[in-house]
């Protein structure tokens, strides 16, 4: 079992890890101090369970949970919080469990029992994941989330409005977005996941490696054998290839002849 403890306070991480190591001596433990670090760790080393503090620097616990839930095999989520009892009921319905600070060993023992049962009962695990997805959708602002987290080269995170995204590209097993400000940001989504998320906002797939914002397309230039080149409306008039397959889809979608 692989357990990630995410909390920006070292004493809280230490206390929780000390208790969990006694309850699950077979487990391998990881630690994260902010939301961005959680996402990087899970991308590089998939884990089974994340003990997730609600209030952390960068993406907070709910935002991190929402991102994790978009993955094909998301970990179990246990919220660690000091929220009042009414808020905890919502978390209990959505996540596998919650624990309250300061941590209680007997309560954590119950949590570990739930974790072991959920990991062994795949149907229960699937139901928990779906419940968490539903909760996070309901917890999002009215009208739906229209911003995307991106990571700069200095590892800082920024929240970018969909309208300020020019295109997304898959490169070397990673996905990046280009913004109207000229930044190239790493995102923790596959291109397929981004396509599902951004399609209702005017983004279309034009190539196996590219997703573009139609609001920022300057022109489409015929190329050869039914392929095209898309010129974007950025300062450099960036050219993006469009394959014959995706050109046919775009024509059908937009009525382009």
All structural domains of the chain: 2-139 (3.40.50.2300), 147-254 (2.40.50.1020)
pLDDT band at 122 (very low <50, low <70, confident <90, very high): low
Give me the residue label for tokens 């970990």. 75
Closest residue by Cα to residue 246 from 221, 217, 216, 226: 226
Write down the pLDDT at residue 92.
60
8 A C-beta contact, residue 65 and residue 132: yes
One-letter-per-residue 3-state SS of 192-210 = HHHHHHHHHHCEEEEECCE
Q: Locate 226 and state its tokens.
A: 């039914």
More confident residue, 178 or 141: 178
Predicted local confidence at residue 61, as pLDDT:
83
Mean of pLDDT over the chain: 85
- List pLDDT tens digits, range 49-65: 999 988 888 788 888 88
For the segment 141-176, what is each residue's pLDDT rounded down to a tens digit? 545 568 888 999 888 888 899 999 999 999 988 999
Q: Which residues pair with 147 in a beta bridge?
A: 161
Signed CA dihedral, 64, 70, 72, 74: sign only: positive
Strand-by-strand arrangement of the 217-222 sheet:
217-222, 228-232, 239-242
CA terminus-to-terminus distance, the chain: 55
Which pLDDT band holds residue 129 (cuts at 50, 70, 90)?
Answer: low
Lowest pLDDT segment from 70-74, 109-113, 222-226: 70-74
Give the Cβ contact number of residue 188 at 10 Å.
22
Residue 28 reports pLDDT greater than 80 = yes
């Amino acid at each position: 079992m692989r357990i990630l403890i995410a909390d920006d306070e070292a004493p809280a991480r230490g206390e929780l890890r000390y208790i969990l190591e006694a309850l699950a001596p077979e487990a391998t433990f990881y630690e994260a101090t902010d939301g961005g670090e959680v996402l990087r760790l899970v991308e590089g080393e998939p884990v089974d369970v994340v003990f997730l503090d609600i209030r952390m620097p960068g993406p907070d616990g709910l935002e991190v949970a929402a991102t994790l839930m978009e993955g094909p095999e998301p970990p179990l989520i246990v919220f660690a919080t000091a929220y009042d009892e009414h808020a905890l009921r919502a978390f209990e319905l959505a996540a596998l469990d919650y624990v309250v600070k300061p941590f209680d060993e007997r309560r954590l023992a119950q949590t570990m029992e739930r974790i072991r049962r959920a990991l062994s009962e795949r149907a229960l695990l699937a139901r928990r994941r779906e419940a968490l997805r539903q909760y996070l959708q309901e917890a999002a602002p009215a009208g739906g989330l229209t911003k995307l987290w991106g990571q700069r080269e200095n590892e800082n995170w920024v929240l970018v409005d969909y309208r300020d995204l020019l295109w997304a590209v898959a490169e070397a097993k990673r996905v990046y977005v280009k913004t109207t400000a000229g930044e190239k940001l790493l995102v923790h989504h596959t291109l397929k996941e981004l396509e599902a998320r951004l399609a209702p906002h005017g983004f279309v797939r034009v190539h196996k490696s590219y997703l573009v914002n139609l609001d920022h397309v300057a022109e489409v230039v015929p190329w050869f054998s039914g392929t095209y080149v898309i010129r974007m409306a950025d300062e450099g008039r960036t050219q993006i290839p469009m394959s014959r397959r995706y050109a046919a889809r775009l024509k059908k979608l937009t009525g382009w002849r």
